Amino acid sequence: MGSSSSVNANFKYALQKSENAFKAAVLIQRWYRRYVARLEMRRRCTWRIFQSIEYACEQDQIKLHDFFSYLMDHFTPSSSKERDFISRMFISGESFKEVELEKYCDYESMEVPDSYTGPHLSFPLLPDHATALLEAFKQKQQLHARYVLNLLHETRKHLKQLPNISHVSTCYSEEVTVCGDLHGQLDDLFLIFYKNGLPSPSKSYVFNGDFVDRGKQSLEILIVLFTFLLVYPNEVHLNRGNHEDHMVNLRYGFSAVHGRKILKMIQNVFCWLPLATLIDQKVLIIHGGISDTTDLDMLEKIKRHKFVSVLRGKKRKESNRNVEIQEINGESKADASPATGPSPEPRPAQAPSMTNRLEFSKWVRQTVQEQIEWCRRLADISDSEEEEELTSSSCVSMADLDAPCWTRQEEQKQVSILDILWSDPMPQEGCRENTVRGGGCYFGPDVTEKILEKYSLQFLIRSHECKHEGYEFCHNRKVLTIFSASNYYEIGSNRGAYVKLGPDLVPHFVQYQANKTAHTLTMTQRISRVEESAFRALREKLFAHTSGLISAFKAYDKDGTGRITLSNWATAVESVLRLGLPWRMLRPQLVRSTADGLLEYKSWLEDLAVEQRSQEHIQSGLLEVIYRNRSNLETIFRIIDRDHSGLISFEEFHQTWKLFSSHMNIELTDDGINDLVRSIDFNKDGNIDFNEFLEAFRLVKQSQDSHSSRGLW
C-alpha cells in the first residue's frame, strides 16, 4: 500500500515537473517570437527609410532634368558665347558622329610609360587577359587610360552589331546565370565568379544593368564585364539599366572621377547596350519592368543609340496614355471622355508696337512669366519659396514655344524605353505612373499576365529594386526580382543573389554576403547597425527641411507652445517630406514626448540643428539650405565641369550664374558676378572647385538674408 502511494506521488511530481517544463518552453517560445517580430518590424521600418530616401533622390534628379530641359526649350542666349556655353552644358550628352568620336578618343596616340606596372591588353582579347585583369584589380591596380579607351572602342563596335533584344539558348550551355544590380561593388562580382565560375562556353551570364553609380569601383566593373563580353561574345550578355544613363551618372558621382575622353566613350557605349534578353523565347529579362503599352516588336525596331539619356524628352502623362489606348481600341479623340491634365499652354497676347519700348518690355516679361509657370506645371517643378520674378536679362524664344521637343513617335519610343528601365511591380491591378521614382510606371499582375500571354512567356526577370534576401517573387511567381549588390544600404542591410536557369527554366538561387564583417554580426547587431545608419540619414533629411517643418507645425500650434499632438506631428512631417513613412512608429527614435503625450517640436528641431552643426561648422540656416540643395548643386557643377577635372573656369562660372540667377531669385550685375568669383577663389588659381562653388551659394544666400532683414525694419 505504501509502495503504491509512493509511486503515485512520484508520478504526480514528474507530471507537474513536465507540465512546468512545457509552460516554460511555451513562455520562451512566445518571448522569442515576440522578440523576432520586433526585430523584423525594426528591419522593415529601416528598409522603408532607406528606400524612400533613395527614390526621393531619383525623383529629384528627374525634376532637375525637367528644369534643364525647360531652360533649353524656352531661353534664347543673348550672345553667341552664351549660346555655345548652354549648348555645351545641356547637349554634351548627345552622340558624337562616328568620325568625330574616333578622332576625339584617339587611344593610339597615347603612350604607356615604362613605369606602368599594371595589366596590359592586346586585341583580340583572350581568356588570359580577363583573368589577368581580375587579379590586377584584386591587387588594387589600375588599367592605363590607353587600354581603357581601346577596350571601350572595341566594345562599342561589338555592341553596335547586336539587336535590341538578345536571344540566349540553354541548348548551348549547361545553364544561364542572371545577375542583378552591382552598382560599382566589385567585391560582389568577384564573389559571384568565385562561387559560380568565370564565363566560359559552358557557362553563360546575363548582367541585368545598373553596373555603375553609388559604389566606388564602377569603372573596374565595366572593364571586367566588357572584357568578358569581347572574349565570350556568345556567352556574356549585358542589358542596359536606368543608371547606364548620362544624366543619372551626373548625379550619382560616376561621371565625377574619370577623364573626359573615357566618360565620353562610356556614355556612347551605354546607349548601344541591348534593352532586354530572351532565354529560350520563354523568359524575358529586363532591368525595370513593363507597362500596359509595352510592345516587344516595337522595342526590337527602336534605334536605341539615339537615347543617350532616356530622361530626355517629355514625361509620361496619364492623359496621353489613355488617349493612346483609346486610339488603339478604335475610339476617336472626340468620343473620348475629357481627361484631367495640366492646363493648356497660354497663348501670347497681341504684341504692342516696338516703338513703345516700355510697353513692349512689359509685354515680354508678362508673356515669358506665363510660359515659365506653364512649363513648371508640365515639369512638376514646385516652388516652396515665394514666387520668383523673371529678370529682364532672360529672353525666351517665342518661335520655339509651340514646337514640341520630340515627335509623337519618338516620344512613344522614349516612354517605351523609360518603362522597361524604370518601372516597378505593384500588387494592385492596373498600370499607373510611378510617382515615387518619378519615372516609369507601376504595373500590376494583370499587366504581367497579358504580356506573358501575348508573347508566350513563362515569367519575367527584372532587377532595379534592392531586396532583403537578394531576390523576391511577386505576381503569382510570374515576376522575379534579382539584386546582386549585397550590403547595399549599409553593412548587413541585405544579401546579394544571382539566379541560375537550366533547360527546364526552373530558377535556382545563390545568396551571399560580400563583406566579411557582415558574417560576424548577430541578427540584432546587424539590424541595430543598419537602423542607426537609416535614422542618421533621415535626421539629415529632416534637418534639410527645418523651415518647412516649422511652418507646418505652427499651423497646428496656434498658441505657440512648441508642442503638438502625435497625430498632427506625423501629418505635418509627411506633408513636408512626402516620403510615405510610418511616422507614428518612427516617432520614439526621433522626438521626445511629454508626460501628457504631446511632442516638443521646438526642442527637437534645435537638437537636429546642434547635431548637424557639430559636423559642419556653418550657420544653421545656411546649412539647412545646403543640405537640401547639395545633390542638385553637385549635379549642376558636374554639368558645367565639362572636362571632369573638378574645376570650372571663371567664364563658365560667370555664364552659369547669369543663366540661373533669374531662377534663384538673385539679381547680380556682371561686375557683381566678377567680384563674387574673385572673392571665392581662395587659392587664386583662376578656377573654382566645388567647395568654392558652395561658398558662392553661401555668400549670395547671406546677401539675400541681409536684404530680407532690412526689409523688415
User: Does the pLDDT of residue 381 top 50, yes or no?
Assistant: no
CA gap 143, 227 in Å, rounded: 12
User: Does the pLDDT of residue 384 top 90, yes or no?
Assistant: no
Kindly state the average pLDDT of the residues 400-428.
76
Kindly state the average pLDDT of the residues 254-264.
71
Q: Which residue has the cell 505635418?
A: 572
Q: What percent of the chain clears pLDDT 90, i.e. is strictly above it? A: 40
Determine whether 243 is an active site residue: yes
Q: Is the pLDDT higher at 89 or at 624?
A: 89
pLDDT band at 312 (very low <50, low <70, confident <90, very high): low
Q: Is the bond leading into 124 cis (omega within 30 degrees of zero)?
A: yes
Q: pLDDT tens digits for 542-551?
A: 888 888 899 9
pLDDT band at 69 (very low <50, low <70, confident <90, very high): low
pLDDT band at 444 (very low <50, low <70, confident <90, very high): very high
Q: pTM for this one?
A: 0.75
Residue 462 has, within 13 A of its CA and on its CB side, a CA count of 25
Q: Is the pLDDT higher at 593 or at 329?
A: 593
Kindly state the average pLDDT of the residues 122-151.
94
The one catalytic residue in 65, 129, 183, 243 is 243
CB 240 within 8 Å of CB 270: yes
Q: Which residues contact 660 (CB under 8 A, 6 or more apart)?
A: 636
Q: pLDDT tens digits for 480-509?
A: 999 999 999 999 999 999 999 999 999 999
pLDDT band at 154 (very low <50, low <70, confident <90, very high): very high
* DSSP of 262-291: HHHHHHHHHTTS-SEEEETTTEEE-SS---
When the pLDDT of each residue in the chain is averaged and rounded to a whole number, the result is 77
Q: Is the pLDDT higher at 76 or at 309?
A: 309
CA gap 469, 455 in Å, rounded: 30
Kindly state the average pLDDT of the residues 666-673.
64
CB 318 within 8 Å of CB 433: yes
Kindly state the average pLDDT of the residues 146-159.
94
* DSSP of 84-150: HHHHHHHHTTSPPPHHHHHHHT-GGGPPPPTT--S----SS--HHHHHHHHHHHHTT----HHHHHH
CB 186 within 8 Å of CB 220: yes
pLDDT band at 413 (very low <50, low <70, confident <90, very high): confident
CA gap 557, 569 in Å, rounded: 10
Least confident of 86-100, 115-129, 348-362, 548-562: 348-362
Q: Is the pLDDT higher at 262 or at 89?
A: 262
Most confident range, picked from 60-74, 521-535, 617-631? 521-535
User: Does the pLDDT of residue 556 top 80, yes or no?
Assistant: yes
Buried b (16+ CB within 10 A) or exposed e, 652-687: bbbbbbbbebbbbebebeeeebeebbeebbeeeeeb
Element (H or E) spanning 522, and its range?
A: none
CA gap 394, 396 in Å, rounded: 7
Predicted pLDDT of residue 311: 75
Kindly state the average pLDDT of the residues 393-400.
34
User: Does the pLDDT of residue 133 top 50, yes or no?
Assistant: yes
User: Does the pLDDT of residue 523 top 50, yes or no?
Assistant: yes
Supply 402's cell numbers: 509651340
3-state secondary structure of 146: helix
Q: Is the pLDDT higher at 150 or at 320?
A: 150
Predicted pLDDT of residue 120: 93
Q: pLDDT tens digits for 447-459?
A: 999 999 999 999 9
CB-based burial label for 200 (10 Å; 0-12, 13-18, 19+): middle
CB 443 within 8 Å of CB 321: no
CA gap 286, 433 in Å, rounded: 18
* DSSP of 425-442: E-SSSSEEE-TTTSSSEE
User: Does the pLDDT of residue 702 top 80, yes or no?
Assistant: no
Kindly state the average pLDDT of the residues 272-299.
95
Q: Is the pLDDT higher at 54 or at 372?
A: 54
User: Does the pLDDT of residue 313 top 50, yes or no?
Assistant: no
User: Does the pLDDT of residue 688 top 50, yes or no?
Assistant: yes
Predicted pLDDT of residue 150: 94
